């Protein structure tokens, strides 16, 4: 049994990890040789793998061979240059190395004491990033606020929704849950709807307000104000507003300043979801898209989308960390320790849903250090330039039209129907999408634009 892997034996790790790094490096070298969208059929893998786990150890090489032959055909290659679907989830060498180190150290940093560096690095790195985004000082850790890395934007909106909900329940009494109303545009990501479902906000109290081309699919402050006034008149309690900077369907930007004013005037928690487009705001010429962020209670962007940080790394800042902590903290005996009891430290377990948490700040820190602001800005700018160029090419082709203004690196376009018939036009575009994606040469995704 010489070749049996021992748990984290340093020399075995060195030998096999080198092989794995070679495997991954070769994957990146050849990534364009794979169909970008996996072409397998549902259930393909069950036919290729045994029914049960092996009784005896297998060889590492055999596993690698299976990955090559059986797993990679079922992989959609998110990092391929031919991948244009959804929003990007860009990785990088720096992000990868940070992720590798995090896996290597494998700490579970829920409280400061469980790994002081994990908490302290996260606090520092999120202050750094807040400064690059020129967020107001209220979001930095030195005052009442601070940043925390969540797994996803969905968790970020859920935790702030819970904080807002509980603030209102403390004010109006626990029986007022059924009266709480949340607002967003109908372009808001479905994660808000899911957060409401989890938080017990009734579906009939979720206002996903109409948008149209007259505001480029941004939420109109007048429509919001009208909805809030109507709800107050009906005895309901507006408590939460989520604005989006860079909506999922068309990268619309809600007018933060005006919406923030309404939120403040009505004492509503104001959250900004900049999951995709937030990264662009490190460039001075795009920073104006988050003007008005000073009126917000919380701000979120996914470093794992457009900031070269390997999934998962969703960055959330709040102005009042005590609101999160009041909602999410628990203090069982087995987690008590001097530093926490003395109120001397941040315990991130109280800023998130799970207890356990990974050392995710390492990869963000490595991205910031190994690229530096200027390179990160160039990277964002280059993507936007590519998109502009593509938009120009589409505009020159009479068969296509641009259907929503391009703001960042997303271009929304469609085939024009020769018959001026919407149903036919939709079918034509669906057929085109299926045809394109079934080639495996390029992967695009779709949406439906409201009129």
Rounded Cα–Cα distance for residues 146 and 321 (Å): 7
Each residue of 150-175: b (16+ CB within 10 Å) or e? Answer: bbbbbbbbbbbbbbbbbbbbeeeeee
Residue 39 backbone dihedrals phi, psi, to 5 degrees: -105, 15
Please say which residue, 35 or 246, places its beta carbon nearer to ligand PLP: 246
CA distance 192 to 273: 10
Q: Work out how close the CB of 187 gets to ligand PLP at its nearest, in angstroms, rounded to a whole number.
A: 9
For residues 27 and 13, give the distance between their C-alpha atoms in angstroms, rounded to a whole number.
20
Nearer CB in complex with ligand PLP: 183/276: 276
> Quick count: other Cβ atoms within 10 Å of Cβ 402?
14
Q: Which helix (H) or strand (E) holds 157?
A: helix 153-172
CB of 259 to ligand PLP, least distance (A): 15
* Nearest distance in Å: CB 409, ligand PLP: 13
The kind and range of the H/E element at 42 are none
Q: With contact defined as beta carbons under 8 Å apart, do 305 and 279 qualify?
A: yes
CA separation for the pair 276, 423 (Å, rounded)? 31
Q: Name the pairing type of β-strands 180-185 and 269-273.
A: unpaired
Q: Which is nearer to ligand PLP, 140 or 387 (CB)?
A: 387
Decide whether 34 or 317 has the Cβ nearer to ligand PLP. Answer: 317
CB of 209 to ligand PLP, least distance (A): 16
Task: Work out the burial of residue 403: count CB atoms within 10 Å of its CB; fewer than 13 is exposed, 13-18 middle, 19 or more buried.
Answer: middle
Beta bridge partners of 318: 146, 298
- Nearest distance, CB of residue 317 and ligand PLP, angstroms: 15
Residues 19/5, Cβ–Cβ less than 8 Å: no
Q: Is 182 helix (H, G, I), strand (E, B) or coil?
A: strand
Dihedrals φ, ψ of 250, to 5°?
Answer: -145, 10
* Nearer of residues 236 and 252 to ligand PLP, judged by Cβ: 252
Q: Output the smallest distance, CB 260 to ligand PLP, in A.
A: 18
Task: Report whether the peptide linkage leading into residue 312 is cis, meaning its omega lies within 30 degrees of zero.
Answer: yes
Query: Hey, what are 345's tokens?
Result: 């430290």
String of b and e for 57-77 (b: at least 16 CB within 10 Å)?
eeeeeeebeeeeeeeeeeebb
Nearer to ligand PLP, 156 or 366 (CB): 156
The residues binding ligand PLP (CB under 6 A) are: 87, 152-154, 189, 191, 244, 247-248, 273, 275-276, 302, 314
Complex with ligand PLP: residue 114 or 314, whichever CB lies closer = 314
Q: Which is nearer to ligand PLP, 140 or 274 (CB)?
A: 274
* Distance in Å, CB of 40 to ligand PLP, minimum: 23
CA gap 318, 296 in Å, rounded? 9
CB 188, min distance to ligand PLP, A:
8
* Residue 140 or 296 having the CB closest to ligand PLP: 296
First-to-last C-alpha distance (Å) of the chain: 67
Q: How far is the CB of 250 from ligand PLP (least distance, A)?
A: 11
**Closest distance to ligand PLP from the beta carbon of 152 (Å):** 3
For ligand PLP, give the closer residue by CB, 251 or 377.
Answer: 251
Residue 409, class by beta-carbon neighbours within 10 Å (0-12 exposed, 13-18 middle, 19+ buried)? buried
Q: How far is the CB of 191 from ligand PLP (least distance, A)?
A: 5
For ligand PLP, the closer CB: 185 or 314? 314
């Amino acid at each position: 049994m010489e070749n049996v892997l021992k748990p984290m034996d340093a020399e075995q790790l060195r030998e096999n990890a080198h092989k794995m790094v070679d495997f991954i490096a070769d994957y990146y070298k050849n990534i364009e040789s794979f169909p970008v969208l996996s072409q397998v059929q549902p259930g393909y893998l069950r036919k290729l793998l045994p029914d049960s786990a092996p009784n005896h150890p297998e060889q590492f090489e055999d596993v690698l061979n299976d990955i090559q032959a059986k797993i990679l055909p079922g992989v959609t290659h998110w990092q391929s240059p031919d991948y244009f679907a959804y929003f990007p989830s860009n990785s990088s060498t720096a992000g990868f190395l940070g992720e590798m180190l995090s896996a290597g150290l494998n700490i579970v940093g829920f409280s400061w004491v469980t790994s002081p560096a994990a908490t302290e690095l996260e606090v520092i790195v999120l202050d750094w990033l807040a400064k690059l985004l020129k967020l107001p000082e209220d979001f930095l850790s030195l005052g009442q606020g601070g940043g925390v890395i969540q797994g996803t934007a969905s968790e970020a909106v859920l935790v702030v929704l819970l904080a807002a909900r509980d603030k209102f329940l403390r004010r109006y009494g626990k029986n007022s849950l059924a009266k709480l109303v949340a607002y967003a545009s109908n372009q808001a990501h479905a994660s808000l709807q899911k957060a409401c479902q989890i938080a017990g906000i009734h579906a009939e109290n979720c206002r996903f307000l109409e948008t149209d081309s007259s505001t480029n699919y941004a939420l109109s402050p007048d429509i919001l104000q009208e909805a809030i006034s109507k709800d107050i008149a009906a005895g309901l309690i507006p408590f939460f507003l989520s604005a989006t900077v860079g909506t999922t369907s068309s990268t619309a930007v809600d007018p933060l300043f005006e919406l923030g004013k309404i939120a403040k005037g009505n004492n509503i928690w104001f959250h900004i979801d900049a999951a995709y487009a937030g990264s662009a705001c490190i460039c001075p010429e795009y920073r104006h898209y988050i003007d008005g962020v000073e009126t917000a209670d919380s701000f979120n962007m996914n470093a794992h989308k457009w900031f070269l940080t390997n999934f998962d790394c969703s960055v959330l800042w709040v102005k009042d960390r005590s609101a999160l902590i009041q909602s999410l903290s628990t203090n069982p005996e087995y987690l008590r320790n001097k530093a926490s009891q003395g109120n001397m430290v941040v315990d991130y377990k109280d800023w998130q849903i799970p207890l356990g948490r990974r050392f995710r700040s390492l990869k963000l820190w490595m991205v910031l250090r190994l690229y530096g602001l200027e390179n990160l800005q160039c990277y964002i700018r280059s993507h936007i330039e590519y998109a502009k160029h593509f938009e120009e090419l589409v505009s020159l082709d009479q068969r296509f039209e641009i259907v929503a203004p391009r703001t960042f690196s997303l271009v929304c376009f469609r085939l024009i129907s020769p018959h001026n018939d919407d149903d036919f036009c939709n079918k034509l575009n669906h057929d085109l999408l299926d045809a394109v994606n079934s080639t495996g040469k390029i992967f695009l995704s779709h949406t439906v634009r409201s009129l």
